[in-house]
Amino acid sequence: MIRFKWYVWLLALVPGLAVIVAALTGILDSNFLDTRASVILSGLALTFGALAVLGVLSRPWRVTSLWQRIVAIGGTALTVLAAVVVASAAFGTIQEELFGTTVQGVRGVALFDTGLIAVGTDDAGHVAVWVSPDGESWDRADHSEALGGVDVSDVTVFGEQILVVGQGTDTGEDVVLTSSDGWVWNRSPVFGDNLNPESGIEMTRLLEDLADNAAWQPRAIANTNGLLAMVGDTYGNAVVFWQSTDAVTWTVADPLPVFDRGDEIVDVVAWKGGFVAVGSDGAGGPQVWISEAATAWTLQDAQLDGQSLVAAATEDAVVVIANAGSGATVSATTDGVSWTHHDSDVFLGHRVDAIVSSPAGFAAVGADTSTGDISLWTSSDGAAWTVFSHHAESADIEIHDIVPFGTSFVAVGYDEVSHTAALWIVNDRSTWRRIVLDPVVATLE
């Protein structure tokens, strides 16, 4: 019979409590972990599982002293609970890494010559495309082979083409979808393994091996003056920049991806100076990259505060909003190098989920971090912001993108309660109106 001294379980209280606290504070949330998380969590799950089995076999309830019995039983219970928590986190992380089971909803919306286009990923893992001439009535494009098995990241309009970027859910390959009208789609050849830039930089054997095995996820795309810039990463482990002039041939830009640094790119915008990309480093600190032609990128010392960033640009200025614990903060630049930080009380207690340039300047949309109520803010210069509209909403609503449309705005996202696409029109009277899509074709999980 296995017997442990009561003080062994006193020691077990410490790691058990640490795991529970980590779970409650979100540290074990897979959104904050890179691709090594599954290995670490699996090891912890096995360790705590073994301790839990040994703890039960030692019969802690048979300890003679009452208070020692309380410690032994408490330590055993915490170890069992820690094993369950870590195992659940490990399973969720492994599932996300292998199968890409991230809730997305409608991922992006864009204007094109005949109206609006919204894109997401449906419950079968295929691209879902909706087209609208007026923002009121939306029709879904028929499913085709080109739209099959793609995890969508972003959408943009390049000349007369609509471009959707994402990643193959089964293959891990990077995908670019093109269409002239939103109804018929073509799938571009795989380009993610082209990690040799035109500059001729020689890669080490290690980098070549990692490049061949890495699954690249395009995160965002932007265009200006006939140039396309696309940014992405390998699940927050290394960042990569692509450039194209035709949306068919893609070249990886300088610098080459540096693996195991934990860098991540989340957005890219175009303006008069070329392109600005935003993301975070391995410690979660904000990063800003700039490039004139999308072929060479320079990391800027923008000195931003916050963790998640969103960006938008007019011809003359770039605005970046960073979400911090107390609320969102605003930074702007007119040259891509010098950044001005603006304090805005309207963002206190709120997070900003999307920002866009508009004919009147800028517009941003986000939510109250305590109530979930949605707000839309506007600014003429990116510095001074006012509340354009406030909408009481469930905390289970996520907004992923926003676009100006005439005198109104169209916002898209995901409803976690009904598991359906979420789409609103915010008119010039500041009124929010939910557009109902057919649940049969709108379910996005």
Q: Please write down the HEC assignment for all residues of the chain.
A: CCCCCHHHHHHHHHHHHHHHHHHHCCCCCHHHCCCCHHHHHHHHHHHHHHHHHHHHHCCHHHCCCHHHHHHHHHHHHHHHHHHHHHHHHHHHHHHHHHHCCCCCCEEEEEEECCEEEEEEECCCCCEEEEEECCCCCCEECCCCHHHCCEEEEEEEEECCEEEEEEEECCCCCEEEEEECCCCCCEECCCCCCCCCCCCCCCCCHHHHHHHHHCCCEEEEEEEECCEEEEEEECCCCCEEEEEECCCCCCEECECCCCCCCCCEEEEEEEECCEEEEEEECCCCCEEEEEECCCCECEEECCCCCCCEEEEEECCCCEEEEEECCCEEEEEEECCCCCCEEECCHHHECEEEEEEEEECCEEEEEEEECCCCCEEEEEECCCCCCEEEEEECCCCCEEEEEEEEECCEEEEEEEECCCCEEEEEEECCCCCEEECCCCHHHHECC
Length of the chain in terms of residues written: 445
Q: What share of the chain in percent tops pLDDT 90?
A: 22
- Which one, of 253, 309, 252, lies nearest residue 280 by Cα? 309
What does the pLDDT average to over 319-342?
Answer: 87
Confidence category of residue 261, pLDDT binned at 50, 70, 90 = confident
Give 280 or 189, the one with higher predicted confidence: 280
pLDDT value of position 78: 67
Q: Work out the mean pLDDT of the chain and round it to a whole number.
A: 77
Which residues partner with 265 through β-bridges?
279
Give 237 or 54, the one with higher predicted confidence: 237
User: What's the pLDDT tens digit per position in 417-442?
Assistant: 777 777 888 887 778 888 866 544 44
Which residue type sits at 412?
A: V
Whether residue 282 is predicted with pLDDT greater than 60 in this model: the reply is yes
Confidence category of residue 312, pLDDT binned at 50, 70, 90 = very high
pLDDT value of position 234: 75
Confidence category of residue 88, pLDDT binned at 50, 70, 90 = low
Cβ atoms of 421 and 404 closer than 8 Å: no
Highest mean pLDDT among 27-41, 301-315, 398-412, 421-435: 398-412
Rounded CA separation 306/329 (Å): 8
Cβ atoms of 177 and 149 closer than 8 Å: no
- Angle 66-99/37-57 helices, nearest 10 degrees? 150
Whether residue 279 is predicted with pLDDT greater than 80 in this model: the reply is yes
Q: What is the reported pTM?
A: 0.71
User: What's the pLDDT tens digit per position in 134-175?
Assistant: 888 888 888 888 888 888 889 999 988 999 998 887 776 778
pLDDT value of position 174: 79
Architecture of domain 106-442: 7 Propeller (2.130)
pLDDT value of position 50: 64
Whether residue 445 is predicted with pLDDT greater than 80 in this model: the reply is no
> Taking the chain, what is the end-to-end CA distance rounded to the nearest angstrom?
49
pLDDT value of position 175: 85
Confidence category of residue 211, pLDDT binned at 50, 70, 90 = low
Confidence category of residue 200, pLDDT binned at 50, 70, 90 = very low
Confidence category of residue 355, pLDDT binned at 50, 70, 90 = very high
pLDDT value of position 48: 63
Cβ atoms of 275 and 229 closer than 8 Å: yes
Rounded CA separation 425/134 (Å): 10
Cβ atoms of 305 and 324 closer than 8 Å: yes
Of the ranges 37-51, 90-104, 262-276, 346-360, which one carries the lowest mean pLDDT score? 90-104
Give 294 or 123, the one with higher predicted confidence: 294
What does the pLDDT average to over 74-88?
Answer: 69
What does the pLDDT average to over 53-62?
Answer: 61
Of the ranges 13-22, 341-350, 400-409, which one carries the lowest mean pLDDT score? 13-22
Residues 6+ positions from 379 with CB-CB distance below 8 Å: 319, 361, 362, 363, 364, 385, 386
Count CB atoms within 10 A of the CB of residue 355: 28
What would the two tokens of residue 209 be? Answer: 């091996």
Whether residue 237 is predicted with pLDDT greater than 80 in this model: the reply is no
What would the two tokens of residue 388 be? Answer: 């354009």
Residues 6+ positions from 193 with CB-CB distance below 8 Å: 211, 212
pLDDT value of position 195: 44
Q: What share of the chain in percent tops pLDDT 70?
A: 67
Confidence category of residue 297, pLDDT binned at 50, 70, 90 = very high
pLDDT value of position 394: 60
When computed from its CA atoms, the radius of gyration of the chain, rounded to whole angstroms, is 24
pLDDT value of position 365: 92
Cβ atoms of 247 and 230 closer than 8 Å: no
Whether residue 110 is predicted with pLDDT greater than 80 in this model: the reply is yes
Residues 6+ positions from 385 with CB-CB distance below 8 Å: 330, 344, 346, 347, 364, 377, 378, 379
Confidence category of residue 21, pLDDT binned at 50, 70, 90 = low
Domain spans of the chain, in order of start: 6-99, 106-442
pLDDT value of position 260: 67
Confidence category of residue 32, pLDDT binned at 50, 70, 90 = very low
pLDDT value of position 157: 94
pLDDT value of position 179: 94
Of the ranges 85-89, 303-307, 377-381, 421-425, which one carries the lowest mean pLDDT score? 85-89
